Structure 1
Amino acid sequence: DYGPFDNATQFRLLDHFYGRSDTHSLDALDDLISVVRSPGPSGSFAADDGWHQSAVDIPLPCTHAKYRSEGDAPKFTVTGVIHRRLLPLVKLAVQDPESHLKHVYHWLAHRRFWIPPSSRTAPASASTPTSSSSTSAPPEPIPPEPIRIYTDCYNSDAMLEAEAAIRKKPRVAEDPPDLEYAVLPLLLWSDATQLSNFGSASLWPIYLYFGNLSKYFRGRPTEFLAQHLAYIPRLPDALKDFYMATYGRSPSADDLKFCKRELFQQIWLLLLDADFMHAYEHGIVLTCGDGVVRRIFPRIFTYSADYPEKVLIAALRPLAYCLCPRCLTPKDRVSAAGTKSDERWRARKRQDTKALQAKILRARKNIFKGFSLTGKRVTTWLNAESLTPIQSAFSTRFLEHDVNFYDMLAPDLMHEFELGVWKGVFTHLMRMLAEKGDDTVEEFNSR
């Protein structure tokens, strides 16, 4: 009995209104009622907004369990992968005629220069004036050299090279000669986030920005330009039960680590679907928000993440012999950072090749032949470059297009400097100041 209210909904609404806060207004209550009564899909991940719930399969390894191939191994299905399809997301953003930013997209790559003010003058002429009354003309200023500046993707060399590569390809036969070909730079981000100081509530979003919009627009939270792409789930506890039922023992820490890495790559294989890869190779004709019809070629320029996620993206072992996701500098050379020898080591960049894929494939075959994940039959193929027996989804999708996916793992200022190197250095400096005496930190603050 919810008297004097007719039902539980009325009781809970009024209980929320009167019992939770003394700052609620009647207008706020009316707004809440209108939301409750509104028709159509509910929830944050409605299908009408392009959200899907999918499932991915993870092969389960077990030492001494032999299979003819990886395809014959038992698979665990991870459900509840919430995501949006990448190509429809691109279409939605590019074609929006109501966007107030539709005329500020930079569709053509270019170089940008700054001409500094003239401050130097040419040397005076050595000729002698014919008359003492004549005055020499003022020296002409030397025009300063233009200085190239880099502000965004659309005035970078990477954008110019991507555009040049597209123009080298033969045009689609059906395209009219005046159809504009344009590159759409995609800037990816992901960051596993703890949602509370207490408890285990967490979120692992993947989102993207479009690089042909200025960073001054992308950096405004009020513009809502971050496009949420997917949410990566955790490995469910049911996996352990399934593993126990299949193999008669619990999965080891290495088994669970393999499954977590594999889950991440399978989700990216799901996102980089056949439709997106077709648009990547052949482009897609769209009427952009500014009314111009273009053939758009989406290109992934950067993937920004913290170090643990970068090694997950690149399928590397963290803090191993070659700990960098972009180069092959060994760990014992890290102390030489900033020296000339360090420059030579950094020049040894990681390269995604067919041979590298073959090494990983050989290691995976041995895993599903029953060899241990940490045994020599597996690690022999991987340790030299700190690889894991995981095939990166970006390698699977982009190697055939001559893309070295390691190059897209851009340095992240926030994670690698502000919350990493600089934070550690600053903390150490504060400790040194504190050791000098009680007033040194206060003196530092006052300065």
Structure 2
Amino acid sequence: MDIDPPQPPSLPPPPPTPPTRRSGLPNRRTRMPAKFNDAAPPPAPRVRRSATTNPQSGHIPPSQPVPSALDVSPPSQIPREWVETAPNAFGLYKVYPRRPTHDPDASVTLGELYQVPGPEDVMLEDLPLPSEPWYYPFPNASVAHMMKYHIEEEHPQSIAGFDRFVANILQPNQEAQSDGITLNELPMPFSTQKYLDHLDTHGITPLGITDQWKNGSVSLKLPCVGHHQPESAAPVFVVNDILFRPLLDPIKEVLQGPLFQKFHTTPFSLRAIPESDLDLPDIVMHDHDSQPSLNEYGIPPLPAGHEEIFSEICTSAAMLEAYHALPQPPPPQSPDDPVESIVVALMEWSDATHLAQFGTASLWPGYTFFGNHPKDFRSKPTSNAGFHQVYFASLPDTVGDAYREHYKCDMPDTHLKRELIHAIWELLLSDEFIAAYDNGIKIKCWDGFIRLVFPRFLIYGADYPEKVLLAMIRSFGGCPCPQCFIKKAQISETGTVNDMKRQSNLRVDDHSRRYTIESARAAMFANGNAVASSAIDKMLKL
């Protein structure tokens, strides 16, 4: 029997020759351009449900789970401590002055990170419809159609002319009866002005609005040049029909409604590290000798090599300062006791606008937003995170008639315009709101916890004429800025090193400023000086 010799193992086929260019060099490796590499947004840093042992003190704090809507029992104790979260994929981490009881970032989904519209978004067709018929506030559909024609007509007739038109078509005649149309539903005599006024006073509430507006009035004292009289004896003019909402109404609506889900109750410092470590545990530091020194906000200072990230109101120094100044309540002993004190950052905005390209129709609305909401959330119209707060009134034409009737001369309206906006703000700053501003107000929030709420004004957005009215300074005076004493000749240095000096010379609402305002008012009423006189100009020029 012949035995075949062992065959050598077969060698693998040689790899194919890579394609080359005409020059004989190999082709370049194709890569996706860097500008098309879009990194997936990672979740924001989150506070872990339980804190680990402090490596510096060896103290093991009690576990404090994040509260939810299902567990509304208040925690037994919330110690005063700062908490540092683990960094996310971008190296961002948060430093809280104390462990938050509500963290909106803990429930963020991938759809929200990618901003994908979902079925939970509120659409217009999901809003509850009014119970009134569609033609409300008119008595029937015929009147509604006639008024719709008059309002939407491009070249409408006058009110009296439209009344004559309706009266003409309602005259009984054989032709009108033969076409089968019944016009008996239209009342006679038909008054267009009556139904226009009825539409203004009995209109339905806009969809989605639950709180009612208030109709207020303010009183203005009328000074006159050359008349010597105390301010208490000056004639009074009343401005009516000022529509406004109390400032506490939108606060309660946000805290007690679904908008609370995106509401940051505890401010924090957002920081970034060069290299993130996702396994880094939360660090809880208690008040003892071994903890590091804390800054003026009750949190550790920024470590070397780390960067402070400024992106939201709830991460600003002003918010941390306002929160650190709050008195925290003692540990709750009953379900009616507040679990913590929080700051509600009010953001007020106002801007007068024209309602038509021709004519004098205008409106001066005021809005309220909340800095506790992320800006990418509150800036979306579908979030419904902004609230109409007030409609500032203008001086009516009748004030000039009342002024001439009493003083027998024309009225300078510069002073009264300034008085009117401050009087309207006096309506908004009610006694209830002032008490909440000073002492806090207990509100049961959406998650079932009762919190002591302190409203604070962090932003008032307005154009320059409105800021001048609010700051009670002269428009484009010697120091035109409503926040500092920068001189008009130094405006060109804005943004330079010299401009930073203005931070040490800010306007302060102190006793000296208030005394100047009172002296200027006494000069107008008691001495009979004009607002533009040299005596008052010296006081208000700065």
The answer as to whether partners of 2:352 and 2:364 remain within 8 angstroms in 1 is: yes
Q: Is it true that 1:382 corresponds to 2:514 in the alignment?
A: no
Corresponding residue for 2:94? none
> Residues 64-100 of structure 1, C-alpha deviation per residue, up to 9 Å, x if partnerless?
1111x2111111101111101112332122112xx2x
SS in 2 for 1:148: strand
- Check the 8 A contact 1:153/1:211 in 2, yes or no: yes
Q: 1:93 aligns with which of 246, 250, 254?
A: 254
Q: Kindly tell me: are residues 86 and 314 of structure 1, through their superposed partners in 2, closer, same or farther at Cα, counting changes over 3 Å? A: same
The answer to whether the 8 Å contact 1:329/1:346 transfers is no
Partner of 1:231: 391
* 1:196 aligns to 2:348 (yes or no): no
SS in 1 for 2:459: strand
Describe how 1:47-446 pairs up with structure 2 within 5 A: 49-67=211-229, 69-96=230-257, 99=258, 101-117=259-275, 145-167=305-327, 179-251=339-411, 255-369=412-526, 370-383=528-541, 385=542
How has the CA–CA distance of structure 1 residues 169 and 372 changed in structure 2, closer, same or farther, with 3 Å as cutoff?
farther
| Distance in 2 separating the partners of 1:159 and 1:102 | 18
Change (3 A) 1:238 1:164: same
In 1, distance between residues paired with 2:352 and 2:310? 30
Which deviates the most, 346-355 or 77-86?
346-355
CA distance in 1, matches of 2:212, 2:508: 35
Q: CA separation in 2, counterparts of 1:113 and 1:8?
A: 63
CA distance in 1, matches of 2:147, 2:471: 51
**What SS does structure 1 have at the residue aligned with 2:252?**
helix
Which secondary structure state, in structure 2, belongs to the residue aligned with residue 78 of structure 1?
Answer: strand
1:208-261 superposed Cα distances (whole Å, 9 cap, x missing partner): 11111110111101112111110011110000000010101111xxx2011111
User: 1:342, CA displacement in angstroms?
Assistant: 2.6
Give the AA of the match of 2:427: L
- For 1:128-174, what per-residue CA distance to the aligned partner results, in whole angstroms no more than 9, with x for missing partners? xxxxxxxxxxxxxxx99332211211111111111111137999999
- The answer for unaligned runs of 5 or more in structure 2 is 1-138, 154-200, 277-302
- The alignment yields a C-alpha RMSD, in angstroms, of 3.1
How far residue 358 of structure 1 moved from its aligned partner, in angstroms, is: 0.5
The two structures have a TM-score, normalised by structure 2, of 0.56
Looking at structure 1, the residues matched to 399 and 338 of structure 2 have their Cα atoms a distance apart, in angstroms, of: 55
Residues of 1 paired with 2:480 and 2:465: CA distance? 11
DSSP 3-state at the match of 1:249: coil
More helix by share: 1
Task: Kindly indicate whether the alpha-carbon contact (under 8 Å) linking 1:115 and 1:144 is maintained by their aligned counterparts in 2.
Answer: no
State the secondary structure of the residue aligned to 1:321.
Answer: coil
Alignment correspondent of 2:70:
none
Larger-gyration structure (1/2):
2
Q: Which amino acid aligns with 1:85?
A: P
- For the 8 Å contact 1:58–1:76, the answer to whether it is kept is yes
How far has the Cα of 1:189 moved from its partner? 0.4
- Write out per-residue CA displacement over residues 237-291 of structure 1, whole angstroms, 9 at most, x where no aligned residue: 000000010101111xxx2011111000100011001000000011011111122
The separation in 1 between residues aligned to 2:381 and 2:204, in whole angstroms, is 22
Query: What letter matches 1:80 in structure 2?
Result: D
Amino acid at match of 2:212: G
Q: Does 1:10 align with 2:142?
A: yes
In structure 1, what is the Cα distance between the partners aligned to 2:237 and 2:322?
Answer: 39
Tell me the distance in 2 between the aligned counterparts of 1:115 and 1:103: 28
Secondary structure in structure 1 of the residue aligned to 2:451: strand
Counterparts of 1:193 and 1:357, CA distance in 2:
31
Residue 166 of structure 1 aligns to a residue whose secondary structure is: coil
Looking at structure 2, the residues matched to 271 and 344 of structure 1 have their Cα atoms a distance apart, in angstroms, of 35
Q: Which amino acid aligns with 2:393?
A: P
Residues 417-444 of structure 1: CA deviation (Å, up to 9, x unaligned): xxxxxxxxxxxxxxxxxxxxxxxxxxxx
Aligned to 2:6: none
SS in 2 for 1:338: coil
Distance 1:175 1:327, change over 3 A: farther
More displaced 10-residue stretch of structure 1: 44-53 or 148-157: 44-53
- C-alpha distance in 1, partners of 2:399/2:446? 46
Q: Distance in 1 between matches of 2:475 and 2:481?
A: 9
How far residue 12 of structure 1 moved from its aligned partner, in angstroms, is 4.7
Q: Which whole-Å CA distance do the structure 2 matches of 1:280 and 1:371 have between them?
A: 37
d(CA) in 2 for partners of 1:208, 1:266? 18
Q: Match of 2:457, SS? A: strand
Structure 1 unaligned blocks of 5 or more = 1-6, 22-39, 119-142, 386-447
User: TM-score if structure 1 supplies the norm length?
Assistant: 0.67
Aligned residues: 328
Q: Measured at CA, do residues 307 and 90 of structure 1 come closer, stay the same or move farther in structure 2, by a change above 3 Å? A: same
Cα-to-partner distance string for 1:303-332 (whole Å, 9 max, x where unaligned): 011111111221121111101111101111
TM-aligned CA distance change 1:266 to 1:337, over 3 Å? same
Shift of 1:334: 1.7
